[in-house]
Chains A and B, each alone.
Chain A
Amino acid sequence: MSILYLLIPLGLVLLGVAIWAFMWAVRTGQFEDLEGPAHRILMDDDEDKTKTKAKDPLPREDK
């Protein structure tokens, strides 16, 4: 079981890395807006679609 003396400190190092990454994320403002990005990813697409959508019906009516 002496492998634990290696594995647990290793786990601690990983914990340290995880916390550092999290703190970095907080510091760089990744958590300032938790809702906006979720919507933004949808909105960008929609804008493109509505543009093409607006053009589409015209040729169809011509037929």
Chain B
Amino acid sequence: MSQSEQSCFHCGLPVPTGSHFSVNIFDQEQPMCCPGCQAVAQAIVDNGLQAFYEHRTERNALSRSLIPDELAKLELYDKPQLQKSFVHEQGGTIKQASLILEGIVCAACVWLSERHVMQLPGVLEFQVNYSTHRAQVKWDDSQIKLSQILKAISDIGYIAHPLDPNRQEQVFKKERAAAIRRLAIAGFGAMQVMMLAVALYAGEAHGMDDHIKLFIRWVSLLITTPVLLFAARPFFTAAWRDLRLRSLGMDVPVALAIGAAYLASLWATVMQHGEVYFDSVTMFTFFLLVGRFLEMTARQRAGRAAEELVKLLPVMATRLENGQATLVTVADLVVGDRVLVKPGESIPADGTVTDGSSSVDESLLTGESFPVRKSPGEQVVAGSVNNESPLQITVKHVGQDTTLAAIQRLLERAQTEKPQLARLADRVAGYFVFAILIIAVLVGGYWTQVDPGNAFWVVIAVLVVTCPCALSLATPTALTAATGQLTKEGMLTTRGHALETLARANHFIFDKTGTLTEGKLKLANVITFAEFDEQYCLNLAAALEQQSEHPIAKVLQQSANKDQTFAPQQIQNQPGMGMQAVINDQRYAIGSSAFISAQLGAAFEDIVQDDYQVVLADSARVIAAFRFEDRLRTDASSAIQKLLQVGMKVSLLSGDRQTEVNRIAAQLGIVHAVGGLTPAGKLQELQEIQQQGDVVAMVGDGINDAPVLSQAQVSIAMGEGTQIAQASADMILLSNDLRHLAHSVETARRMRRIIKQNLLWALMYNAVALPLAAMGWVAPWMAAIGMSSSSLIVVLNAIRLTRAPHNRDHAVAQKMKVLTSEVVN
């Protein structure tokens, strides 16, 4: 056995040749692959945990023995080879990485983990993105290791690991299966207990044998116990974490209410004295779990969309060495390598074309659906797809230094920096709980003086009756219902705050290409300056362009008349400018005005208007000019009208020329339209609008829109748009039907109204019930019914949101029309 095949005693990875790490374990020097493994193994031995190595082959051993193993895994993340794929070096010892966090259940968790990690010396930045459960961490490698950060995170009850797309998929799966199991236990339990509770309530009214009553209570207890211990566990662990870190989130009151109600019921059942609240416990748990489950589903969907970007990169690449082609992993590519990219393959790294010429599809990055021509000397971007012929590329940037990775980092940061309105609601709930606890203590104190025998039940009644169930269900149920309804209609909400903000929005900003228009060029107009007619000019133009891959060339070729063909000779392509060729002994040129004017020199006068993009000329004069335009979406006009009807201001910000933008704005009835904007210009324009106090909803689709989408209070990406725009957006218009925008606004506003009603109801209920309970006038069973019904009313009120909206019939009719037309054809 050669030295290189030896595997590390600790982690099992092969030991690199020439390395000399080892640790004395079981009185024998054991080989180690790296300083990381060596350190862990040494620490384990030093701490007298050597037995760990005896037990670790048996994975079913005590979970305690897994802890060092987990630590060892964390330590692996310090290995430079492994870090290459997820750590970004920022110069010196400063490093940056993306992490996935497991166990994040609420906005407060984000705050907690951020604060905890930021306290560590050497951590420069730590920001958690709630919607994706990812964190951006920046640290000084000379002061703290990534593993220490990961360990610190696990100390506070979260599991963190560096971003690796395949692993995230597993995390999602695990999270989802656990959530469904909890839902099932809570749901089945709630149904059974509710049924038994009806019997108990009926017994209360009509009389019931004591032994039957006792039996039913015991059965209820039997069913409720797994619901509490298994299904409701996330609430308890989250509440415990909150308490340990001294903050009051929404989970604390929830856990308190469930726990107190359960314990009181348990006491009442065992002592055969007092009332039981098993129905409230199970029902409340089930409702909250449903809300959390739907939230999780939406979040995972958004997370996957963002992850698509990572998957753009191929795993393997063909490296050329001395004329030999070898397959290597993309991670092994270094700057300066020459790689071969065959047609149909994705480009593995940023680089320069050294040989070959082909068209490259960069649509996933730019949203530009037309392939871009690349010839030697030009730059290509990792993640784009080679369309036509083989390209040889010299690698300029790899891994985290590529444009793709940079965009992703920008995007994740933009998402993280969104205001998290949810935290406010949590803080309010925190104060509320605090107040309730004080009141309960005061009431308890008073009643122990006056009537000690009854004091316990009065306090329980106070706690149960004021359980902030209705309060804590008020917002999530309405959000869930509205989100679910909108998703059904093709509008996916990926961030919790999106609907709330959309309800407040008063200004819609549109991007033009691909949003209001179809993003496909059409020939709009031809003017001729010579004796030839339009069709002849088109045929001539098509002949000149026949070898070009340019999108405009394609449109011209489609417009040509097949009856008349020319045989162009000596075709010359000047990329980005135009084409030249000789037809029937006459030299012709076609291209931009600048190109033609350079060809003709003094003979070219500014006879062609600005918005005619392509000019055709022979050697002496201009023959014709062509204007192309992007056609409006059929639904754009009615969508804008509807938005104006619901009281929105509408603006158009575009990178296109002002004349073109004005034309579209006039067609749609948009007053404020600005063209010729760079992405930075768009951002500035948007900020100016925001400074006037407007709440902005931005609709866009391309990568150039990503920063603007992030800056707007609420952002909507088109379902046909780029993944990156979708990942940075709060909502995704999957249906691509612009008319759904106004409808979504209406739904969001209805949702806000219902949340207000719910909150008002919950507060009123508490305001009335609390004094009554404190006075001892509320029997605990009344408190239970009161609490259940106040929650139910909130839920039912929220369900109103899922009722079919008035214009639903229209959508159905249209769908039928499409279906029938398909069948007929």
Q: Which one of A8, A12, A32 lies within 8 Å of B173 (CB-CB)?
A: A32
- Does A19 lie within 8 Å of B223, measured CB to CB? no
Chain A nearest CB from B183 CB (Å) reads 9
Given known A-B contacts A11-B192, A15-B223, A19-B184, A26 and B177 have beta carbons under 8 A apart? yes
Looking at chain A's contact residues, the main secondary structure is: helix
Given known A-B contacts A15-B188, A31-B176, A31-B180, A4 and B215 have beta carbons under 8 A apart? yes
- Does A26 lie within 8 Å of B184, measured CB to CB? yes
> How long is the Cα–Cα vector from A32 to B175 in the complex, in angstroms?
11
How many residues of A are counted as interface, with CB atoms below 8 angstroms from the partner's CB atoms?
17
**Interface check A58, CB cutoff 8 A:** no
- Does A15 lie within 8 Å of B192, measured CB to CB? yes
Residue of A nearest to B226 (CB): A19
> How long is the Cα–Cα vector from A15 to B184 in the complex, in angstroms?
11
Chain B nearest CB from A6 CB (Å) reads 11
Chain A nearest CB from B456 CB (Å) reads 29
- Does B176 lie within 8 Å of A1, measured CB to CB? no
**Residue numbers in A under 8 Å from B219 (CB-CB):** 8-9, 12
**Interface check B794, CB cutoff 8 A:** no
- Does A19 lie within 8 Å of B185, measured CB to CB? yes
Given known A-B contacts A4-B212, A8-B219, A12-B219, A18 and B188 have beta carbons under 8 A apart? yes
Residue of B nearest to A22 (CB): B184
Q: Which one of A15, A18, A23 lies within 8 Å of B181 (CB-CB)?
A: A23
Residue of B nearest to A34 (CB): B297
**Residue numbers in B under 8 Å from A53 (CB-CB):** 825
**Interface check B216, CB cutoff 8 A:** yes
**Residue numbers in A under 8 Å from B173 (CB-CB):** 32
Chain B nearest CB from A4 CB (Å) reads 6
- Does B212 lie within 8 Å of A26, measured CB to CB? no
Q: Which one of B181, B188, B222, B825 lies within 8 Å of A26 (CB-CB)?
A: B181
> How long is the Cα–Cα vector from A28 to B215 in the complex, in angstroms?
36
- Does A12 lie within 8 Å of B222, measured CB to CB? yes
How many residues of B are counted as interface, with CB atoms below 8 angstroms from the partner's CB atoms?
18
**Interface check B809, CB cutoff 8 A:** no
Given known A-B contacts A1-B209, A5-B215, A32 and B192 have beta carbons under 8 A apart? no
Q: Which one of B188, B192, B196, B216 lies within 8 Å of A22 (CB-CB)?
A: B188
Chain A 5-50 interface residues, beta-carbon cutoff 8 Å to B: 5, 8-9, 11-12, 15, 18-19, 22-23, 26-27, 31-32
Most buried by A among B185, B196, B215: B215
> How long is the Cα–Cα vector from A53 to B822 in the complex, in angstroms?
10
Given known A-B contacts A31-B176, A32-B176, A1 and B212 have beta carbons under 8 A apart? yes
**Residue numbers in B under 8 Å from A15 (CB-CB):** 188, 192, 223
Chain B nearest CB from A13 CB (Å) reads 12
> How long is the Cα–Cα vector from A15 to B189 in the complex, in angstroms?
8
**Residue numbers in A under 8 Å from B181 (CB-CB):** 23, 26
Residue of A nearest to B189 (CB): A15
- Does B216 lie within 8 Å of A8, measured CB to CB? yes
Chain A nearest CB from B217 CB (Å) reads 11
Chain A nearest CB from B483 CB (Å) reads 15
> How long is the Cα–Cα vector from A18 to B189 in the complex, in angstroms?
11
**Residue numbers in B under 8 Å from A27 (CB-CB):** 177
Residue of B nearest to A57 (CB): B825
> How long is the Cα–Cα vector from A52 to B196 in the complex, in angstroms?
57
**Residue numbers in B under 8 Å from A23 (CB-CB):** 181, 184
Chain B nearest CB from A35 CB (Å) reads 10
Chain B nearest CB from A33 CB (Å) reads 10
Chain B 188-238 interface residues, beta-carbon cutoff 8 Å to A: 188, 192, 196, 209, 212, 215-216, 219, 222-223
> How long is the Cα–Cα vector from A15 to B224 in the complex, in angstroms?
13
**Residue numbers in B under 8 Å from A1 (CB-CB):** 209, 212
Chain B nearest CB from A5 CB (Å) reads 7
> How long is the Cα–Cα vector from A27 to B174 in the complex, in angstroms?
11
> How long is the Cα–Cα vector from A11 to B219 in the complex, in angstroms?
10
Residue of A nearest to B195 (CB): A11
**Residue numbers in A under 8 Å from B825 (CB-CB):** 53
Most buried by B among A5, A12, A26: A26
Chain A nearest CB from B815 CB (Å) reads 13
Given known A-B contacts A11-B192, A19-B184, A31 and B177 have beta carbons under 8 A apart? yes
User: Quick one: CB contact mask for B501-516 with A, threshold 8 Å, 1 for yes?
Assistant: 0000000000000000
**Residue numbers in B under 8 Å from A8 (CB-CB):** 196, 215-216, 219
Residue of A nearest to B181 (CB): A26
Chain B nearest CB from A58 CB (Å) reads 14
**Residue numbers in B under 8 Å from A12 (CB-CB):** 192, 219, 222-223
Chain B nearest CB from A47 CB (Å) reads 13
**Residue numbers in A under 8 Å from B188 (CB-CB):** 15, 18-19, 22
**Residue numbers in A under 8 Å from B185 (CB-CB):** 19
Chain A nearest CB from B184 CB (Å) reads 4
User: Quick one: CB contact mask for B20-43 with A, threshold 8 Å, 1 for yes?
Assistant: 000000000000000000000000
**Residue numbers in A under 8 Å from B215 (CB-CB):** 4-5, 8
Chain A nearest CB from B817 CB (Å) reads 17
**Residue numbers in B under 8 Å from A19 (CB-CB):** 184-185, 188
Chain B 775-825 interface residues, beta-carbon cutoff 8 Å to A: 825
Chain B 392-440 interface residues, beta-carbon cutoff 8 Å to A: none
Residue of A nearest to B184 (CB): A22
Residue of B nearest to A14 (CB): B192
**Residue numbers in B under 8 Å from A11 (CB-CB):** 192
> How long is the Cα–Cα vector from A5 to B216 in the complex, in angstroms?
9
Chain A nearest CB from B773 CB (Å) reads 32
**Residue numbers in B under 8 Å from A22 (CB-CB):** 184, 188
Chain A nearest CB from B445 CB (Å) reads 41
> How long is the Cα–Cα vector from A19 to B219 in the complex, in angstroms?
16
**Residue numbers in B under 8 Å from A32 (CB-CB):** 173, 176-177
Residue of B nearest to A46 (CB): B822
Chain B 341-378 interface residues, beta-carbon cutoff 8 Å to A: none
**Residue numbers in A under 8 Å from B212 (CB-CB):** 1, 4
**Residue numbers in B under 8 Å from A26 (CB-CB):** 177, 180-181, 184
Residue of A nearest to B172 (CB): A32
> How long is the Cα–Cα vector from A26 to B180 in the complex, in angstroms?
7
**Residue numbers in A under 8 Å from B177 (CB-CB):** 26-27, 31-32
Chain A nearest CB from B146 CB (Å) reads 32
> How long is the Cα–Cα vector from A35 to B688 in the complex, in angstroms?
42
The 8 closest A-B CB pairs, nearest first, are A22-B184, A31-B180, A26-B180, A26-B177, A8-B219, A19-B188, A15-B192, A1-B212
13 sample A-B contacts, Cβ–Cβ < 8 Å, listed by A number: A1-B212, A4-B215, A8-B196, A8-B215, A8-B219, A12-B222, A18-B188, A19-B188, A22-B188, A23-B181, A26-B180, A31-B180, A32-B176
Beyond contacts A1-B209, A4-B216, A32-B177: 14 other A-B pairs, Cβ-Cβ < 8 A, are A8-B196, A8-B215, A8-B216, A11-B192, A12-B192, A12-B222, A15-B188, A19-B185, A22-B184, A26-B184, A27-B177, A31-B177, A32-B173, A53-B825
